[in-house]
Each structure stands twice: as structure tokens, then as C-alpha cells.
Amino acid sequence: DGGITQSPKYLFRKEGQNVTLSCEQNLNHDAMYWYRQDPGQGLRLIYYSQIVNDFQKGDIAEGYSVSREKKESFPLTVTSAQKNPTAFYLCASSIGTGGSQPQHFGDGTRLSIL
Amino acid sequence: AQSVTQPDIHITVSEGASLELRCNYSYGATPYLFWYVQSPGQGLQLLLKYFSGDTLVQGIKGFEAEFKRSQSSFNLRKPSVHWSDAAEYFCAVYNTNAGKSTFGDGTTLTVKP
């Protein structure tokens, strides 16, 4: 079945450490997105990519980095510069960036600080 | 700038009762609107979407939503709630110029037996 796979499901980060969250999709979608979800704050966009080898900052990009070297993969690195990384991270994809296309979501990665 | 407001943080309804979740949006052009549902610890699933045509749209799991341009609203409804509908619900508006969506803060639905 086609879908989006996020790994790991749970991740722990030590102080000063960079960690990378994986997001893979086999839906042949062009656009991919990373969101951060905190209790009571809904989803906030970190980065998004409309096509391979291109990506844009979202609303809360500071302390994060991404790459889009392959159409099916959009990994997110949480750097040591992100001082409050504890959150639920969701990856999503859509066929394109046309407005009528809904986003398909992975099941998320929960990141915690040790 | 576009925005989405879900005025109700938490709603509790009895099983079998009707449900309406409110969503108000701010967007300059004709909006592309979505409702998603999220179960605990999982990703979001699309319930329904509106981008043109009939202002009453039908979705999965018996949900429907009505687009009212004059009120800038896109409220989600269900005539009879089931215990399995307990979840968090998100309204979203898509910005065609920016190529990205803005989500509301969500409404948590609790269903009483």
C-alpha cells in the first residue's frame, strides 16, 4: 500500500546533539512538508518542498534543516540550535501544490530531550 | 495573512447526539478548505475538502461541512456521533500563492456513553 513512513516513532536527544527524523513516501508526490505539533497549538510548518532539490522555510524553521535529494525522501534534522525540540513531528506529502490537493500524513515521530 | 480559528478547544457530546465543530478562516481569495481528524499518537486523516461548487460537501465517516462565504466559515457536522469519533479535529486553509496550508489549533472531541 502507498503511504508515508516516518521513523523512528520515538526519539531521544541529548543536549547539544543533532538528530535526524526520517520521512519516506511511495505515493509519487511532488510536495512534502514537515510540521511540529505542540499541545494546544495545532500544526506549525517547519519546512516544505515543492520539488526535488528545492525547499522553503516555513513559519518556525530556526534550529531545523532539511534536504530533498530524492523525490520520495525528505529528512528533517533537529539541530542543537533548537532549544526546545520536545514535540510531535509530522511529515506530509501532496501530489502537487495546487490548492485542491489534500495532504497525506505519516504517523509522526515523538522527540524528547534526555 | 491567512488564518484559521477554531473557537472551541474542547467539545463533549453524548453518543448518538449531533455534532457541529466551528471553523472560521481569513483569506483574501476563494479558499481551499479542509477538515482533518487525528487519533492520539497518529497522523492526520482527511475527512473532506472544499474548493468550488456545491457549498455543502460530504466526507468520510458520515461527516459533512458547509462553506459560508458571507460568514467566512466552514463548520463540520455529523448528525449522530459514535464513540469512535472521539479524536482531535483540524480545519485548514490552503494559500495558493505560498503553496502551503495554515491549520487551526484543533478541537478535541470527547464522546460520552
Q: Count helices and strands (H / E) in chain B.
A: 0, 12
Q: What is the pLDDT of residue A99?
A: 64
Does B1 have pLDDT greater than 90? no
State pLDDT tens for residues B72-112.
999 999 999 999 999 999 999 988 777 788 999 999 999 99
**Partner-chain contact B46 A102, CB within 8 Å:** yes
Could you say which of A42, A92, A103 has the minimum Cβ distance to residue B106? A42
The whole-angstrom separation of Cα A10 and Cα A8 is: 5
**What grid cell was written down for A71?**
523525490
Would you write out chain A's pLDDT as a tens digit for each of its 114 residues? 679 999 999 999 888 899 999 999 999 999 999 999 998 778 999 999 999 999 999 999 999 999 999 999 999 999 998 989 999 999 999 987 666 788 999 999 999 988
Q: What is the pLDDT of residue A59?
A: 92
CB contacts, 8 Å: B51 with chain A: 99-100
Residue B30 pLDDT grade (very low, low, confident, very high; cuts 50, 70, 90): confident
Residue B31 CB contacts under 8 Å (≥ 6 apart), including other chains: B25, B50, B74, B93, B94
Q: What is the pLDDT of residue A1?
A: 63
User: Could you give the dihedral angle defined by the CA atoms of residues B13, B32, A46 and A106, in that order, rounded to the nearest 10 degrees?
Assistant: 60
Over range B57-71, report the average pLDDT.
Answer: 95
Could you say which of A97, A100, A108 has the minimum Cβ distance to residue B42? A108
CB contacts, 8 Å: B96 with chain A: 98-99
Of B41, B77, B84, nearest to B59 by C-alpha is B77
Does B48 have pLDDT greater than 70? yes
Does B53 have pLDDT greater than 90? no
Adjacent-strand bridge partners of B29: none
**DSSP 8-state class, residue B79:** S
**Partner-chain contact B99 A90, CB within 8 Å:** no
Could you say which of A6, A103, A110 has the minimum Cβ distance to residue B101? A103
Cβ proximity of A77 and A20 under 8 Å: yes
Q: Least CA distance to A87: which residue of chain B?
A: B41
Does B68 have pLDDT greater than 90? yes
**Partner-chain contact A99 B100, CB within 8 Å:** no
Does B35 have pLDDT greater than 70? yes
Chain A interface residues facing chain B, Cβ-Cβ under 8 Å?
4, 6, 31, 33, 35, 40-43, 45, 48, 50, 56, 58, 90, 92, 97-100, 102-108, 110
